[in-house]
Amino acid sequence: MNRYIINGGKELHGEVTIGGAKNAALGIIAGALLTDETVTIDNLPNVSDINVLLEAIRSIGATVDRVNDHEVKICGATISSEVVDSEYIQKIRASYYLLGALIGKRGSATVAMPGGCEIGARPIDQHLKGFRALGVRCEEKDGCVVAKVQNLRGSHIFLDVVSVGATINIMLAAVLASGTTILENAAKEPHIVDVANFLNSMGARIKGAGTDIIRVYGVERLHGTYYSIIPDQIEAGTFMCLVAATKGDVTIKNVIPKHLESITSKLQEIGVTVDESDEEVRVIADPGTRVHSTQIKTRVYPGFPTDMQPQITAVLMLAEGYSVVNESIFENRFRYVDELRKMGADIFVKADQTSARIHGVRSVKGAEIIVPDLRAGAALTIAALAAQGKTTMHCVDYIERGYEDFDGKLRSLGADIIKVSD
Ligand code: UD1
């Protein structure tokens, strides 16, 4: 495990470029297996979750040709197995997309139960409900989901819970089914639209992605494509919060400002300047002024993303007055607050873990802290960069699951951060 050594208290200035959306890329890599032709994926983020998934598809025989850090060619024609049960695949959440893709391609899949960050129970019952509606027999056996189907057929599915993963997974399984699948109460996140656009570029017929009713008209086969992934909403939002907490003036390039609206409007409300233009946002935070307090509740898109909850809490820890942050998606997403307290934050988390009440403090100080999960790691980096003095952050490998060259990008903005290998 690696450590960050951070000397905080420096304003950030300059430009930073955002990479491709990790959570779109995960669905797209799995979707690439649905054709026997070669698929080229560009603007791929070079982060460990992506590399684990690429390794997993290689382990079942897919051809994976890494053209460079951000481009990969995948060919699913050489797949020789439907069993993905390696130890490393259990580390990532998105292993579940191999279920949808292999069901669609081969009518059979055995995939290790998904892992990922420990932020709540994270069941996959809605994924299985969707597959079953398409005629798939699913059972859990020896830590794996075993799925088999003779005739994959379209169906009408109503999700009981709005789930990003289930929405993408059902689309993956349904594109090659016979007939039409109607998915109601679907998630609307930008990466769902991106996965649908990608599948359509392969010849799929998906309509309505981005609304809560998605229609998938089954097609007989898909073909190869070249596809460039959208920018990562959460990486961009993280840099926006970084500037809000450390102060300074940073232009964040390669973003889709529309995807950032819930974050932009909250930052503007608390006194941060955010100027949007076509493909960039400029964030300016005045070093002489503290941000104001506010109330936030995480919601499905277009609401405030749960994946930005820790980062905005790190900003509000320094706000003037009391803020309340409600977490409505996951049950256990405030574990990082203990680490912020070590730095001097005054935050009280309700016993049922649904909300945090934040009494803003004027400043926090460096400390020795441990990263509990990916987005918490981003939040703790924000806190450490805004703190006075030195912070040692342990277990920063979690951050590398979803942020490419995070410390390097921060250094280019003037942050005093180094990564040390244990
Ligand atoms: C995805 C993202 C994650 C993000 C989350 C919410 C990936 C790889 N991960 O995770 O970064 O935080 O969306 O935007 O894309 N649920 C069920 N049954 C299910 C599925 C989900 O009850 O079958 C519940 C979950 O426990 C959670 C809520 O639905 O409370 C939303 O989960 P979901 O949108 O599925 O999140 P993930 O796909 O796990």
Question: What domains can you pick out in the chain, each with its CATH number?
Answer: 2-19+231-421 (3.65.10.10), 22-228 (3.65.10.10)
Residue that is written with structure tokens 């649904």 in the block: 354
Q: How many CB atoms lie within 10 A of CB 342?
A: 17
Report the pLDDT averaged over residues 373-400: 97
- Comparing CA positions, the residue from 356, 382, 350, 352 lying closest to residue 369 is 382
pLDDT of 116 reads 66
Cβ contact 219:228 at 8 Å? no
What value does the CA radius of gyration of the chain take, rounded to a whole number of Å? 21
Query: What is the identity of the amino acid at 33?
Result: L
Per-residue pLDDT tens digits for 120-145: 678 899 999 999 999 999 998 888 89
pLDDT of 302 reads 96
- As for ligand 1, residues whose beta carbon falls within 6 Å of it are 23, 26, 93-94, 120-127, 161, 163-166, 187, 306-307, 329-330
**The tokens of 153 are what?**
């057929």
d(CA 89, CA 95): 6
pLDDT of 92 reads 83
Its pTM stands at 0.96
Q: How far is the CA of 165 from the centre of ligand 1 (A)?
A: 6
User: Rounded mean pLDDT of the chain?
Assistant: 96
Percent of the chain surpassing pLDDT 70: 98
pLDDT of 200 reads 98
- Comparing CA positions, the residue from 116, 115, 113, 104 lying closest to residue 79 is 104
Q: How far is the CA of 299 from the centre of ligand 1 (A)?
A: 12
The contacts found for 406-411 with CB under 8 angstroms, 24 or more apart, are: 406/378, 406/381, 407/4, 409/16, 409/239, 410/12, 410/242, 410/381, 410/385
**The tokens of 11 are what?**
């304003």
Report the pLDDT averaged over residues 210-227: 98
**The tokens of 163 are what?**
């789930």
pLDDT of 310 reads 98
- pLDDT over 90 (residue 118): no
Per-residue pLDDT tens digits for 47-101: 999 999 999 999 999 999 999 999 999 999 999 999 997 776 777 888 899 999 9
3-state secondary structure of 84: strand
- pLDDT over 80 (residue 119): no
Query: What is the identity of the amino acid at 92?
Result: I
Concerning whether 117 is annotated as a catalytic residue, the answer is yes
Distances (CA, A) of 145 to 31, 95, 165: 19, 11, 15
**The tokens of 174 are what?**
């349904």
Report the pLDDT averaged over residues 29-54: 97
Per-residue pLDDT tens digits for 141-185: 888 899 999 999 999 999 999 999 999 999 999 999 999 999 999
Q: What's the distance, Cα to Cα, between the start and end of the chain in Å?
A: 6
Closest approach atom of ligand 1 to CA 305: 14
Q: How far is the CA of 216 from the centre of ligand 1 (A)?
A: 21
**The tokens of 67 are what?**
């053209």
d(CA 201, CA 204): 7
pLDDT of 85 reads 79
pLDDT of 239 reads 98
The pairing of beta strand 248-253 with beta strand 12-17: parallel
Per-residue pLDDT tens digits for 281-329: 999 999 999 999 999 999 999 999 999 999 999 999 999 999 999 999 9
